[in-house]
Amino acid sequence: MFNFHKSVELTPARARAAERDSILSACAGATGDITLTDSAVIILYATMLGASDMFSLITTALMPLMNGLCIIPMAWLASRAGKNKFLIKVMCLSFLTYLLVVATPFFGTFSVPMLIGALTLFALFHTGFVAVWFPLLDSFLAPERRNAYLGKMRFGWQLTSALFILVVGLCIGKNPPLWHLQLALLTAALIYSLRIYFLARIPAFNTAKTENYGFKTGLSLAVSNKPLAGYSVYLFVLNLAAYGTIPLMIIYLKRYLAAPDNIIVLISSMTLIGMLLGSLFAGRIIKRVGLKHTFLGIHFIYALVNLAIFFIGKDTMGVGLTYTVITILLLIYSFTFANANIASTSEMMTLANPGNKVMAMAFCGTFYYGGSGLSRMVTSLVLGSGMFASEWYIGTVKFCHYQTIFLFYAIAIIFSSMLLVVVPAIFPKGEYVYMCNDR
């Protein structure tokens, strides 16, 4: 059944089977990924273990930061070892470290450092998956099916992830004991293990798309790809400005607005539903308004949402209305994020050099994930340093240091819009022309 040890010929039937297995692996894996690194569950888990605001936010920064630092070396290792076999090995290691995260409460006073260490190892091994994932898709996914597949895949993993986080939120209660979250993480880990099974069913296809370049040559070729390099820089700056909003809002809800834990998890699940809806409509939006206006709209909405959150304080409105408004804003934000993701992924796969897919995508991914991880890491350091006043006023209106950071996010997002001039899909360079397929 696990037939990745030898290459097979790519046929339409095998391509469809690979698409199905890859989507199932994405659904299983993303449910575990998001629960562990990008949801209210891990932040509340770290808080219960005694982590400060800084370390709670760091738990969400480790995966994208490690991707940014290690994706190119991992891509090189994958090209040397064989993508499929390398993928299975790193997934097995990441599953073991997932279990270590679940076990961290048993380490007593060392539970927080053990949690950070286990999450760092998980992020390291997971980077191997990220380095190989899109080149693996490229080995069986026809260009004309790319956008439709990406939309279907994202819809699948976002649906399963949202449903899982929603169930957790409904079950844990307002003030859950630690073992409730520990059980939620263990369940997510078991679901995550199914990714290994479905990935192992995808064979190594014998196609004309081969990686013929060594590490230095491949990296040099990616760097010299000017459209890809410019686009990568743009993604870095945009994610640096926009990627910290959702986890910071979770900490803001917990620490400053004193929201119940189950409410926080339910709001977290709503952000996943926003991403799901964004994936459903992204293709239609891009087709209807064009990619240029889509990207402009993304910047506008990112900035507007962060600015709106800046004005939401303890006494701005009633408690119920505050939670409702925050939920709606995060739904809009995550909907926009999904649109940006689909456009960005398709663009990255289009710009990657034929014959150098692994390294080209790893190069772009370094900037994408580096900006994402640094956004959260810098925010966590700002929170830990106490550099912003805990309270300040405009007239009689009181603001806290969390709100100050949301204001800085809005300003940074407006600044990043100036880099749209280097996005090839908006301003094509040379022979490159962006093709947006209808979903």
Q: Report mean pLDDT in 10-residue bins for the chain, 439 residues.
A: 60 86 93 88 92 89 88 80 84 95 94 94 91 81 75 84 91 89 95 93 70 70 84 92 94 92 92 87 81 86 96 86 95 92 75 73 85 92 89 89 95 92 71 41
Q: Which amino acid is at 156?
A: G
Q: Single out the residue of 409, 295, 304, 288 nearest to residue 341, CA to CA.
A: 295
Nearest to 18 by CA among 275, 276, 203, 234: 203
Q: Are 194 and 28 in contact (CB under 8 A)?
A: yes
Closest CA to 153 of 298, 23, 289, 18: 23
Residue 153 contacts residue 26 (beta carbons within 8 Å): yes
For tokens 């607005």, what's the residue?
257
Q: Count Cβ neighbours within 10 Å for each residue of 358-380 and write b for 16 or more, e otherwise.
A: bbbbbbbbbbbbbbbbbbbbebb
In angstroms, the first-to-last Cα distance of the chain is 32
CA distance 275 to 272: 5
Q: What is the pLDDT of residue 83?
A: 76
pLDDT of residue 204: 79
Q: Please say whether the dihedral angle defined by the alpha carbons of residues 67, 341, 231 and 78, taken in this order, is positive or negative.
A: positive
pLDDT score for 430: 54
> Computed over its alpha carbons, how large is the radius of gyration of the chain?
21
SS3 call for 156: helix
pTM of the predicted model, to two decimals?
0.84
Q: Taking Cα atoms as reference points, which of 239, 234, 242, 143 lies closest to residue 429?
A: 234
Q: What are phi and psi of 200, to 5 degrees?
A: -65, -20
φ, ψ dihedrals at 436, nearest 5°: -105, 105
**Residue 203 per-residue DSSP state:** -
DSSP state of 253: I
Residue 230 is predicted with a pLDDT of 87
